Amino acid sequence: MAEAISVTGPIAGTDKTITFETGVLAGLANGAVTSRIGDTQVLVTATASSRPRDGASFFPLTVDIEERMYAVGRIPGSFFRREGRASDDAILVCRLIDRPLRPNFPGDYRHDTHIVGTILGADHVNPYDLVALNGASAALWLSGIPFECPIAGVRIAYSTDGEWIPFATHEESDAATFEMVVAGRQLDSGDIAVMMVEAGGTEKAFEYYAEGAPKVTEDVLASGLEASKQWIDDIIELQKSLRRLVEEQSGPITVMEYTSSKDYSDEVLDRVREVAADRMREVMAIADKAEREAAQSETSNAVIDEVAAEFADLDGAKDQIREAVRSLSKEIVRERIVADGFRIDGRATDEVRPLSSVAGYLGRTAHGSGLFQRGETQVLNVTTLAMSRMEQIVDTLNPQDRRRFMHHYNFPPFSTGEAGFMRGPKRREIGHGALAERAIFPVIPSKEAFPYAIRLVSDVLTSNGSTSMGSVCASSLSLMDAGVPIVDHVAGVAMGLVYADGKYVTLTDILGAEDAFGDMDFKVAGTEDAITALQLDTKIEGIPAEVLAQALQQARQARLQILEVMRAAIAEPRPDVGETAPKITSFEIPIDKIAEVIGPRGKVINSIQEETGADINVDDDGTVGTVSIGATDREVVAEAERQIRLIVNPPTPDVGATYEGRVVNITKFGAFVNVLPGTDGLLHISKLGGRRRLNSVEEVLELGDVVSVIVEEIDPNGKISLSPADPTQVGGSEGDADGAEDDGPPRRDRDRGRDRDRGSSGNGTRRSRTPVAAAVPAGGGADASAADGDDEGGAVSAPSGTAREDVSFGEHFEQIAKDVYGDLGPELEQSGRGSGRRRGRR
């Protein structure tokens, strides 16, 4: 095995270090680096094909993140018990790495290039995304692939004290109000050019703001971008140190030769410019997207037909002409913006397109809905509320294992007027949906304040720029319509930038074409006084800090304008959730009461659900139990809550008081009657039937019967003994109540009664049977014993000349055990007086 080459550097302001190592793993890749912070480590490889991809008009860079569950010591939770498709978290990290890397390759490089990050260890302290990003840059820097210069990234979290924390841990991020990932590269001047920003507020951001933490404004963001440069510079220098060590040991790293792929020749571009410049200026001034694109296609085809004959001997002449026409279109749009200050649709650089907002567009069929339109971009968002059991279970390497707030974004082909295939969300849809979710997330109420699982779905209906920010606005409208008590409206806007002739021009609310032809894509979302999310990508070396600060302020003005239109549609959350939405309440119970609420095999909780119609969920975190109750009718929720609270804190019956109770269980020795919620007492068989001895309780009572009972006694263990308040209800008669005799028991029982009165058996032997008092715990258990025999407890003697009758309590005790412990398993059949169980009389 080869010897490792590694470098380690401190992370300023922390006690952490970052390490890059190469030379041991994945030796056949063009470049392979294991990067590490704490116990989180990622193997990143970089490989490139030896030939360019045929016909590629773009740089085919692919980034994959392989989450290995062994990295956290777990077996995957899927049916196959192995990793499957990439998780959303992994896809978002792929996009995070791709965006700052892509601009650092030569413009004519078209070889397939593959970056693979395999997560070897995740310590649940340090997130792996930045470890992977910095490792990817280091692997490319050592690979010989034409990568212009190393880049670096840092995550910084804004604490409640107003300080930026570098390489924030999961815990530090949770305790912060905002976190931001910044990636950049070194310029020749030594300054750091910001190339990518991904930022968002945390779950408790507005709780911390309410407690006095400083809010994240445009000025705070600008300070964070400036602060991040220090750590980016340190990590880039560490990568350079690693390369120097490799070259000292193995010699200089040779940059691979690659085949330059040009979309068109200079001659083709010059000829297209001569033929089409004036016509394309007219076309690119058409404001309507559909009309403009139709005219652009018609003009492009006409130019191709006209110029193609002149380049008949050129391979792929028509493709080159088509790309040259596109390049000319981009040139014209940029020239008009910088020189004249006008855009494709005639707007000024800081002008927002026409806005409209509708809350409750779908009416009562949805729990909440919002329709937002800005120019030709239209997004419909629908809110669905559910019990907490509908939270998403997450099986990834991150510590979070559940998500109660979800936002899903759909971008069908018809939104751009095209025909196509729909095969589930692509990486772009996952990324745009995550950005909108990150923007809304900080204003979502806590689970304690609003115990719902919340799902938002944004369907893009028409698209012409900034659908992700349109999704933010539609989501905010939808949430308020659903009655979700969000802190405030959140709006988003996409900004663009064009750099030409040494001049930077910032564009508000960019169109799709301006996004494609511009040099920056800059999305900002937030409330009136705080930013909740930001995403920035550039296609140039970087953006000066003062230009970025000016763009942030310009974005704020647009955001305030959008918020005003949204407030006109709905100014605050509706006072309650909708008619069709579940009404949910949640409260905590002692963990030792969970079993009582659920009951054996779910008997208690199922009974409450059947009786009330509520949906009940009981969960615990190991220290306290949580009960969630949901139903479309609040009265149903209230009744279910009342019954559960009575089980958790049952009222105590009063001795001598009369209660109406329901028979909930019948045994050989009596009936258990529920006198209060969660409280049962025993009505012994000897107290039933008046003076008539009963062979079974079923002669006078059945399950479900309602009887009036008096609490006779509550023993120190909480066991309750009952007696009938009205004997006529339970098999007695008026005569019984007054002491008069009825027709009497069956003859056999009369004979036994006479024998008992004589007090002796036929052979002169006297046997006595002492009745055992029967009671039941207040909690409804069945731990009781009773005499199985006469109703007065006197001695019983067998008639002379008959076999003696032994009485067994086995069945009685077996029934008690079953009531307490459940099924006891198969019986042991055995005869005689052995060690086996004997049942009944012999």
Q: What is the DSSP string of 81-111?
A: SS--SPPHHHHHHHHHHHHHHGGGS-TTB-E
Please, which pLDDT band fits residue 835 given cuts at 50, 70 and 90? very low
Taking alpha carbons only, the member of 676, 622, 606, 672 closest to residue 819 is 672
Angle, CA 792 vertex, CA 791 and CA 794 arms, to 5°: 120
For the beta carbon of residue 496, count every other beta carbon within 10 angstroms: 26
Q: What is the pLDDT of residue 47?
A: 98
For 394, residues 6+ apart whose C-beta sits below 8 A from its C-beta are: 87, 89, 400, 401, 402, 403
Query: In the predicted model, is pLDDT for residue 390 greater than 70?
Result: yes
Q: What is the pLDDT of residue 265?
A: 87
Q: Which of 266-275, 354-363, 383-392, 394-403 has the highest mean pLDDT?
A: 354-363
Q: What is the pLDDT of residue 553?
A: 92
Q: What is the pLDDT of residue 339?
A: 82
Amino acid occupying residue 533: A
Higher pLDDT, 538 or 383: 383
Query: In the predicted model, is pLDDT for residue 756 greater than 60?
Result: no
Q: 203-256: per-residue pLDDT in tens?
A: 999 999 999 999 999 999 999 999 999 999 999 999 999 999 999 999 999 999
Q: What is the pLDDT of residue 750?
A: 39
* Helix, strand, coil percentages in the chain from 3-state DSSP, rounded to 5: 35, 25, 40
Least confident piece of the model among 282-291, 531-540, 762-771: 762-771
Query: In the predicted model, is pLDDT for residue 817 greater than 80?
Result: no
Amino acid occupying residue 548: L
Over range 761-772, report the average pLDDT. Answer: 35
On whether the CB atoms of residues 669 and 784 are closer than 8 A, the answer is yes
Please, which pLDDT band fits residue 520 given cuts at 50, 70 and 90? confident
Residues 36, 39: Cα–Cα separation, whole Å: 7
Query: In the predicted model, is pLDDT for residue 763 greater than 70?
Result: no
For 746, residues 6+ apart whose C-beta sits below 8 A from its C-beta are: none
Please, which pLDDT band fits residue 733 given cuts at 50, 70 and 90? low
Length of the chain measured in residues? 842
Please, which pLDDT band fits residue 801 given cuts at 50, 70 and 90? very low
Q: What are the Cα distances from residue 77, in Å, to 280, 396, 401?
A: 56, 10, 12
Query: In the predicted model, is pLDDT for residue 355 greater than 60?
Result: yes
Least confident piece of the model among 21-30, 496-505, 788-797, 823-832: 788-797
Q: What is the pLDDT of residue 820?
A: 55
Q: What are phi and psi of 431, to 5 degrees?
A: -65, -45
Angle, CA 612 vertex, CA 607 and CA 616 arms, to 5°: 70
Q: Which residue's entry shows tokens 């040139």?
A: 331
Query: In the predicted model, is pLDDT for residue 747 greater than 60?
Result: no
Pairing mode, strands 491-500 and 151-158: unpaired
Query: In the predicted model, is pLDDT for residue 90 greater than 90?
Result: yes
Please, which pLDDT band fits residue 815 given cuts at 50, 70 and 90? low
The two three-digit tokens of residue 267, written as one number: 């001659």
Higher pLDDT, 835 or 517: 517
Pairing mode, strands 192-201 and 531-538: antiparallel
On whether the CB atoms of residues 227 and 168 are closer than 8 A, the answer is no
On whether the CB atoms of residues 722 and 686 are closer than 8 A, the answer is no
Least confident piece of the model among 197-211, 422-436, 715-729: 715-729
Number of H helices, E strands in the chain: 18, 29
With the CA atoms of 707, 712, 713 and 714 taken in that order, what torsion angle do they form, in degrees rounded to the nearest 10?
30
Taking alpha carbons only, the member of 839, 787, 837, 793 closest to residue 667 is 787
Q: 651-664: per-residue pLDDT in tens?
A: 888 899 999 999 99
Q: What is the pLDDT of residue 526?
A: 96
Q: What is the pLDDT of residue 745?
A: 45
For 187, residues 6+ apart whose C-beta sits below 8 A from its C-beta are: 193, 541, 542
Q: What is the pLDDT of residue 500?
A: 82
Look up residue 441 and give its DSSP letter. Answer: G
Query: In the predicted model, is pLDDT for residue 497 greater than 70?
Result: yes
For the beta carbon of residue 150, count every other beta carbon within 10 angstroms: 22
Higher pLDDT, 805 or 93: 93
Over range 408-425, report the average pLDDT. Answer: 90
Q: pTM value?
A: 0.78
Please, which pLDDT band fits residue 757 given cuts at 50, 70 and 90? very low
The two three-digit tokens of residue 737, written as one number: 């109540």
Query: In the predicted model, is pLDDT for residue 741 greater than 80?
Result: no
On whether the CB atoms of residues 531 and 490 are closer than 8 A, the answer is no
Taking alpha carbons only, the member of 392, 399, 444 closest to residue 203 is 444
Beta bridge partners of 66: 118
The beta-carbon contacts of 543-551 under 8 Å, at least 24 apart in sequence, are 543/193, 543/194, 543/497, 543/504, 544/504, 545/222, 545/225, 545/226, 547/497, 547/504, 547/506, 548/194, 548/222, 548/225, 549/218, 549/219, 549/222, 550/506, 551/495, 551/497, 551/506, 551/520, 551/522
Query: In the predicted model, is pLDDT for residue 142 greater than 90?
Result: yes
Beta bridge partners of 683: 671, 722
Q: What are the Cα distances from residue 700, in Å, to 679, 692, 790?
A: 22, 11, 17
The two three-digit tokens of residue 692, written as one number: 């008539």
For 177, residues 6+ apart whose C-beta sits below 8 A from its C-beta are: 158, 159, 160, 201, 202, 204, 205, 208, 209, 213, 214, 215, 216
Query: In the predicted model, is pLDDT for residue 191 greater than 80?
Result: yes
Q: 576-607: per-residue pLDDT in tens?
A: 999 899 999 999 999 999 998 998 888 899 99
Q: What is the pLDDT of residue 672?
A: 93
Q: 530-558: per-residue pLDDT in tens?
A: 999 999 988 877 777 778 888 999 999 99
On whether the CB atoms of residues 99 and 185 are closer than 8 A, the answer is no
Taking alpha carbons only, the member of 92, 104, 187, 86 closest to residue 130 is 92
